[in-house]
Structure 1
Amino acid sequence: MAPKQQRVIVQKGGSRGGDPKGAIANVYDTLTSSENASVVKSVLIFGGAIAIFSSSLSELLLPPL
């Protein structure tokens, strides 16, 4: 019995199933993912607190003498 023939489909062009995403697009998709929302919010709040405490605005939080 002869073996079955196999068909090979050749695609013309250089695209492989769509354009691959760049690094910036991957980072943006990761940061805006709903799974990472709590982590992103926590990091932003922490960064904002550090920025306020290291600036001259932190003197407003001190009690008057």
Structure 2
Amino acid sequence: MKQNVGGIDRILRIVVGVALIAAAATGTVGAWGWIGIVPLATGLIGWCPPYAIFGVNTCKTKTEG
């Protein structure tokens, strides 16, 4: 798996994922808040299946030189 999630995208995914999980764990939102596991996981591993399918890549490209 080649990483396709980078930088700010990863940070936002992790923050949103943790916030949703915390809200679900405290009962602030319903059980749907556990969906926060998905953005948390994709942020931590740096790979998103829909990005791979649609050819999206938010990682910085390395320039040779």
Bin of the TM-score, shorter chain as denominator length = 0.3 to 0.5
Question: Greater CA radius of gyration, 1 or 2?
Answer: 1
Structure (1/2) with the larger helix percentage: 2
Which structure has more RCO (C-alpha within 8 Å, separation ≥ 6)?
A: 2
